[in-house]
Amino acid sequence: MTAGESAKRKRKALEAVEPPLEAAIDLGTLPRQLGYVLRRAQAAVIQSYAGAFAEAGPRPAQFAVLTILDRNPGLSPSQVAGVLAINRTNFVPLFDSLVQRGLATRRPVKSNRRAHALYLTAAGKALFDKAARRVNTHEQLFAAKLGDGDLERLLELLHRLTGALADNVPPA
């Protein structure tokens, strides 16, 4: 092959082509892949929640922390982060955002001067109660969309999946 032929072929390979046929796009195996399907579902759910929380309520991670502290006042940062599967490190600015909004506080612990005990403020409890009511209402919308016990079936399958996969990566 000469240099001229090589250059010609190269030019041809980069030539303009016709626009794609306007047929339905084939997703291949993506709709059977759990990672992809979960991403799409989570995006749809987050979008749906965003509509219900139009006026900048607590973000999902903030709401989760409020829930844990409402039920378990006095837990340590490591405990809350651990139970929510949030990195200890990333929990710091997350909790700071609640403190800055006056929703939660850190208190020292008598018996261990390294540790902190975390609590909701009165404002934090009030915001949590209000947000929890809205979240539960929204959950009923999901139940209605899926219909007839299917939300419960979906939750059960997701819990079982998460548990089965977690078993493979036991804590060190």
Partner DNA sequence: TATTGTTATACTCTATAACTATA
Partner DNA sequence: TATAGTTATAGAGTATAACAATA
Applying CB under 8 A, does 2 fall inside the site for a second copy?
Answer: no
Applying CB under 7 A, does 63 fall inside the site for DNA?
Answer: no
Applying CB under 8 A, does 126 fall inside the site for a second copy?
Answer: no
The stretch among 9-17, 23-31, 86-94, 122-130 that binds DNA (CB under 7 A) is 86-94
Residue 62: how many other CB atoms lie within 10 Å: 20
Residues 6 or more apart in contact with residue 69 via CB below 8 angstroms: 75, 80, 104, 118, 119, 120, 124
Among the listed residues 10, 11, 15, 56, the single contact to a second copy using CB under 8 A = 15
Question: In the complex with DNA, which residue's Cβ is closer, 57 or 60?
Answer: 60
**CB 3, min distance to DNA, A:** 29
Applying CB under 8 A, does 130 fall inside the site for a second copy?
Answer: no
Question: Reduced to 3 states, what is the DSSP secondary structure of residue 5?
Answer: helix
Helix (H) or strand (E) holding 117, with range, is strand 116-120
The contact mask relative to DNA for 105-134 (x = CB under 7 A, - = no) is -x-----xxxxx------------------
Query: Do 104 and 98 contact (CB within 8 A), yes or no?
Result: yes
Among the listed residues 7, 8, 9, 39, the single contact to a second copy using CB under 8 A = 39
Helix (H) or strand (E) holding 82, with range, is helix 77-84
Query: Do 89 and 77 contact (CB within 8 A), yes or no?
Result: no
Among the listed residues 6, 7, 8, 30, the single contact to a second copy using CB under 8 A = 30
- Extract long-range pairs of 88-95: CB within 8 Å, 24+ residues apart: 94/61, 94/62, 94/65, 95/65
Among the listed residues 16, 54, 122, 172, the single contact to a second copy using CB under 8 A = 16
The stretch among 1-9, 21-29, 89-97 that binds a second copy (CB under 8 A) is 21-29
Residues 95-124 that bind a second copy (CB under 8 A): 107-112, 115, 117
d(CA 57, CA 128): 10
